[in-house]
Amino acid sequence: MGHFRPHIFCVSTLSLLLLICDAKPPESLEEFGEQIDREFEKISRFSLVEEELTKIKGDIGSDKRDPVEALKNAKRNLDELVRQRVHALRNLAKAAEDTIDVEFVNNYNEYHEVYRDDGISGMSDEVCENYTQFINMSNVLYPNENASRKTGVHINTESYWCDPNVARDFDWTKSSLIEREMIASKTKNPEMGHQYIGTYSGLTVMYPRRNWVIQPEKITTDLFDPRFRPWFAAAESVPKDILFLIDSSGSVSGPTFYLIKSTLMFILSILNPNDYFYGLHFSSGYDSILKSDTFIPATTVNKKAFFEELDVLEQNNQAIFAGPLNASLDYLRNKTATRSGGHKLLIIFTDGVDEWPNSVLDEEFSDHDKELIRIFGYSMGFGTNELPLQKFMACKSKGAYSEIDSIMDVKPQARMFMDKLSKVRGRALQGTNPEDREPSWTNLYMEAQGLGPTVTLSMPILAKNETIFKNKTLAGVAAIDININEITKHLPPTTDQLYAYIVDNNGIIIYHPKLNLPRTETHCVRRSACYDAQSTRHRATYIQRVQYGMSDERVYRLVGLIDSIPTLDMFDLETNSTGMKDLRLAIINRACDIDRQIEDRERNMSYYCAPIKNSPFTIVTVNTSHLEVKYSEETDLESAKWEKLFENKLLHFYYARRDICNWRLDTIKKSQRFAEFIKISEDPVCAEETKLGRALIKSLENWGASFKKHLTKMDVKSCFEAARNLTDKQYSSYLLNTFVHLRTKATASYPECAEGYMKEIGKKFDKEIGSADNHDDKIDATVLTKKSKFEGKDLITQQLVMFKTISHENRRLAVVGTQWRHDYFPMYFEEFTRNRKEWRNYNYYVLTRDGFVIATKNNSINVELPMHLIKFDKEIAYILITQKWMTNTTEIDPQSECVPSINTAKTSSASPAPSSLLKYIVNSLFKILKLGFWKNLSESLVLLVAGQAEMNNGKCYFSKIVPFERCFEKHVRFRITPIFGRQIGLFDRFVVLHEIPKTMLILVITDTKNNEVNIARNSVMDEELWNVLVQNTTLEFTQIHAKDLLHSPLRRPPDYLKNWKAAKQPENNQCDNNISTNSSLFFTFSLIFLVSWIF
């Protein structure tokens, strides 16, 4: 078939249904490009920025560093840092044990009357009052002028100050021997972080003492509890494999299952990636909770996946226990993939079972040569009471048993298994000196009092007298913080050529330049909804009805129920290329050699690694093919003037980096970070690191001065009017802002009221700083797409961004751009082509280089633009892909911000035969009133409000929050690089592509789109590709559910697990062997009869 139309001549070859076309662009296409360029310059003031940056290009040069030398320097300094902290920790643990052994145990008779605890009398009022006075003198909640020179004490809100256990721990932790040791270590190493001793009574002693921040005080509850801090849990037990066996029968639906999920969340909050877990649920049958065939490490994403699946689990049918119990024991012994190498635990949650698996238990307990599996039983639900057989099973297996019948029991009882394992840990360490013990190490987490990202090393403190410590073998845990700035200052600076990061024994990131850290703020707090939280203090047993704001991921981080900093694998922030796999294997197998280069040909990089002595950490340096950018001009700090830059009040400035100059900006609010950067750049200590940033920012002075500086009325409407005055009236309502993004991750935008649109701009261009795809003489365009929710519905919002780059030797210095509403360019294109005859005969698409159709002409399909070409016209997309003119790459972003998916379990059927009318009524009511799991987890009797409380001048206000959660997203990036003016068509269609002058935009000329998806096939068609195009309607970005990210790569057990064996833990448990099924059934039937009689 032949085609003859103006500007286009096509010849077909019928055997292949191919069209070979040659065409000229419309005559006014060049005029269109020039008009776009003029409009862009008028609004963006690009030439003003370019002119200033051209002046400093002569001072921008290149440099190259030796990656091996950089690694050696980092290793030498970090080896010394760790040596000092480990030495200080061992001395602190020794001082604590000497205090217990010498000053405390030997004088126990003097204290006996104080610590007597017969369960009735406790302390006398006089002794209680004296202890309260002593505690207040050291209490970190009360400001003290000499705070930095003394140790301070913090007591968990739920602990009773006059509890004999609290008094005991206050006495020994406040000894002069411990205080002298803490002071001596800090004096010797002034940069040392806080030192702690946490105890099992909830008391913590710390040095230096500080003024404990709980802000805003009126609406904030202090939740700090040493027993739930990462450093405490890491030290009190060796790693563990845990199998959760969860009753999902109809009898647990409603409040009982809510208690189960709440308890599980507290348990998993204690675990770290050295621990492994697995989950089975059972009713009439059993199945795994996660579709994984092995135990998985307790990483953030694995724990999240577990809860997402648990939250949609239905509860129905009747519980049959023998099969799942037998399977659980078999899983713990026979799953041979990577495991923790420590304890094996089976934790059971049930409200009771009708048939007890005697044969399974007889086999388990009769074979004494089997590897020990400790069984921990939870009796769940209001009115369930004690389950004697479950208690017996726990006793026989050297585990433990507990009952949880209300939300108030959840937090204290969630630690039941850790209390047992800590006793085992203490017995295993008896006879060892602190000098011979390996410390435990946390992952990176947020320090509770707002000091930012922290790693802590810790060590258990032995209780030398179990009588005094109530049968506990550990008295507490000693710990020392290492702030992130102590670590990163020894690493080479991140440049285009070289960067460094640190991973632990599991390949988990401890520090990485790409790690997106949550904001630094106070943790271990819960803020009520304008309710006076002070009234709850010291009243742990008094239940009050408290309002709280809506809970999102940030709230759960602050209260400590999820990891404050997500644990990410090195594969997540790098890639899983062959070279990266070789590097990971070298780290796990302790095969790193500082002089050995590991090549990664896929990424054109090379890696070097070296372990940090006395720690589980490894330093990695990455050497790329690029050169480091150096700014050589000396900066005169004293003569620098910034008034001209800041005199325009309608400009908005933002500085993204928090780690600059050894994390000087970490605790600074986002809104103040740019101004603070200006201040620290004038500090000689920071001058070298900040001088390129200073020079780039100074280049914006004329750009900022060119805009309107003041408004008659400072309101949002007037502010947006300032932006609209930049362009012609018919386009004014479409313009959002104009901006400059600098190489140093600083941005400036105009007007200030549109700063909310800059977040996605910053994220995009921060990632592209090292890009070589620079076209300084042409305008590029892209579409920023964001997902959100409104009234429960998913919303997609888009903005069109048009921009130009300014580079030097193909290294990007700045991006200058404009940001528009999504519907701007269709109207702009229509306005230009409306009265021009040469645009009337064919279909025209304006296409960005990343594949978005942003405008069309003569198109019969009425759709909202922008839209990706793959959605808009699959046939043309197919043609471009098969000709390899449109290519794509897939990226996984593990640090995206997604709309939270608040899952609520489907309505569950009741138990086939409810045990009582009371139970039936309670379950039915709770089904009606049941809240989603993620709505609120940690509080009882809660009223939710859809806002977050804020204090302003002593008054409480509600501010609407936009909840989000960290997630993994798959991004498909397209790039179109065609041969302009000539194109091969298919499907009896033609397509010709031309570049719009002065831009990177593409004009597509084509004939009518075939609207039928099931078009005729032919011999040249790639059917698999076509099916992919048909099925993919959300190719730009797709959230990956946590359950699809489960992974358990090769790992290395921590050093403190050396020579540990479960068989070496002798215990003598006295269990009641006379317990029978009949006694349990008698109790159950008696209860049913009693309740039925009442009703």
Q: What pLDDT, in 10s, does the model give residues 144-153?
A: 777 678 999 9
344: which 2 tokens?
């094996």
Other residues' Cβ atoms within 10 Å of the Cβ of residue 570 = 25
The secondary structure of 893-939 as a DSSP string is EEEEEE------PPPPPPPSS-S-HHHHHHHHHHHHHPPPTTT--S-
Which is higher by pLDDT, 813 or 529? Answer: 813
Asked if 404 contacts 377 with a C-beta cutoff of 8 angstroms, the reply is no
| pLDDT of the residue at 19 | 46
| pLDDT of the residue at 942 | 35
Give the rounded percent of residues in the chain with a pLDDT score beyond 70: 79
648: which 2 tokens?
């325009």
Q: What pLDDT, in 10s, does the model give residues 1051-1079?
A: 888 887 876 665 455 566 677 765 544 44
585: which 2 tokens?
């294997």
Which is higher by pLDDT, 556 or 206? Answer: 206
| pLDDT of the residue at 231 | 98
Among 777-786, 875-884, 911-920, the range of highest mean pLDDT: 777-786
In this prediction, residue 785 has a pLDDT band, given cuts at 50, 70 and 90, of confident
Which sign does the torsion angle of CA 668, 674, 678, 683 carry?
positive
Give the rounded percent of residues in the chain with a pLDDT score beyond 90: 57
| pLDDT of the residue at 925 | 38
769 pLDDT more than 70: yes
| pLDDT of the residue at 576 | 87
The secondary structure of 950-999 as a DSSP string is EEETTEEEEE-----EEEEEEEEEEEE---TTEEEE-TT--EEEEEPTTB
Q: Cα-Cα-Cα-Cα dihedral of 378, 380, 382, 387, to 10°?
A: -60
Q: What pLDDT, in 10s, does the model give residues 659-713?
A: 999 999 999 999 899 999 999 998 999 999 999 999 999 999 999 999 987 666 6
Stretch 489-510: mean pLDDT, rounded? 96
| Helix, strand, coil in percent for the chain, rounding step 5 | 35, 25, 40
Asked if 423 contacts 417 with a C-beta cutoff of 8 angstroms, the reply is no
Which sign does the torsion angle of CA 936, 939, 945, 948 carry?
negative
Q: What is the spatial distance between Cα 100 and Cα 460, in angstroms, rounded to a whole number? A: 13
| Strands, E assignment, 512-648 | 525-527, 546-549, 598-600, 605-611, 618-623, 628-631
| 625 burial via Cβ count (<10 Å: 0-12, 13-18, 19+) | exposed
Residues paired with residue 838 on neighbouring β-strands, in sequence order: none
Q: What is the spatial distance between Cα 1088 and Cα 1080, in angstroms, rounded to a whole number? A: 12
SS3 call for 420: helix
544 pLDDT more than 70: no
| pLDDT of the residue at 550 | 54
- Pairing verdict, β 498-503 and 203-207: unpaired
What DSSP state is assigned to residue 1043? G
| pLDDT of the residue at 791 | 60
Q: Which residue from 487, 442, 459, 400 is spatially nearest to 298, judged by alpha carbons?
A: 442
Q: What pLDDT, in 10s, does the model give residues 902-935?
A: 443 333 333 333 333 333 343 443 343 333 333 3
Other residues' Cβ atoms within 10 Å of the Cβ of residue 37 = 19
Q: Which long-range contacts (CB under 8 A, 24 or more apart) does 333-337 make?
A: 333/370, 333/371, 333/373, 335/278, 335/294, 335/295, 337/294, 337/295, 337/1048
143 pLDDT more than 90: no
| pLDDT of the residue at 906 | 37
Q: What pLDDT, in 10s, does the model give residues 307-334?
A: 999 999 999 999 999 999 999 999 999 8
Other residues' Cβ atoms within 10 Å of the Cβ of residue 936 = 18
203 pLDDT more than 60: yes
Asked if 633 contacts 58 with a C-beta cutoff of 8 angstroms, the reply is no
In this prediction, residue 17 has a pLDDT band, given cuts at 50, 70 and 90, of very low
Average pLDDT, the chain: 84
Which is higher by pLDDT, 433 or 1041? Answer: 433
Task: Give the least confident one: 561-570, 580-589, 1017-1026.
Answer: 1017-1026
Q: What pLDDT, in 10s, does the model give residues 614-649?
A: 999 999 999 998 888 889 877 555 555 687 888 888
| pLDDT of the residue at 1057 | 80
990 pLDDT more than 90: no
Helical ranges in 521-632 per DSSP H: 553-559, 570-573, 578-588
Asked if 522 contacts 452 with a C-beta cutoff of 8 angstroms, the reply is no
Asked if 1006 contacts 35 with a C-beta cutoff of 8 angstroms, the reply is no
Which is higher by pLDDT, 900 or 1084? Answer: 900
In sequence order, what are the residues at sequence separation of 6 or more whose Cβ sits closer than 8 angstroms to the Cβ of residue 560? 223, 228, 269, 523, 524
| pLDDT of the residue at 914 | 37
Q: What is the spatial distance between Cα 983 and Cα 787, in angstroms, rounded to a whole number? A: 35
Task: Give the least confident one: 117-131, 757-771, 892-906.
Answer: 892-906
pTM of the model: 0.88
In this prediction, residue 970 has a pLDDT band, given cuts at 50, 70 and 90, of confident
SS3 call for 586: helix
| 432 burial via Cβ count (<10 Å: 0-12, 13-18, 19+) | exposed
233: which 2 tokens?
């849990």
963 pLDDT more than 70: no
727: which 2 tokens?
């362009």
Task: Give the least confident one: 427-431, 634-638, 880-884.
Answer: 634-638
Helical ranges in 452-530 per DSSP H: 484-488
Task: Using the structure block, give the residue that is written with the tokens 């020579």.
Answer: 1059
- Edge to edge, the sheet with strand 991-995 lists 867-868, 852-857, 843-847, 1002-1006, 991-995
Task: Give the least confident one: 8-17, 878-887, 942-951.
Answer: 8-17
- Tell me which H or E stretch contains 328: helix 322-334
In this prediction, residue 1028 has a pLDDT band, given cuts at 50, 70 and 90, of low
Q: What pLDDT, in 10s, does the model give residues 719-760?
A: 878 888 888 888 989 999 999 999 999 999 999 888 888 999
- Pairing verdict, β 735-742 and 811-821: antiparallel
Which is higher by pLDDT, 115 or 259? Answer: 259
Task: Using the structure block, give the residue that is written with the tokens 């012609």.
Answer: 728
| pLDDT of the residue at 754 | 85
Helical ranges in 735-823 per DSSP H: 758-767
Q: What is the spatial distance between Cα 901 and Cα 444, in angstroms, rounded to a whole number? A: 26
Stretch 947-976: mean pLDDT, rounded? 73
Q: What is the spatial distance between Cα 194 and Cα 120, in angstroms, rounded to a whole number? A: 38
* Domains along the chain with CATH numbers: 33-54+641-837 (no CATH), 66-229+415-524+568-626 (no CATH), 235-252+269-295+307-410+1052-1094 (3.40.50.410)
Task: Give the least confident one: 6-10, 75-79, 769-773, 827-831.
Answer: 6-10
- Pairing verdict, β 546-549 and 942-945: parallel
Residues paired with residue 817 on neighbouring β-strands, in sequence order: 739, 803
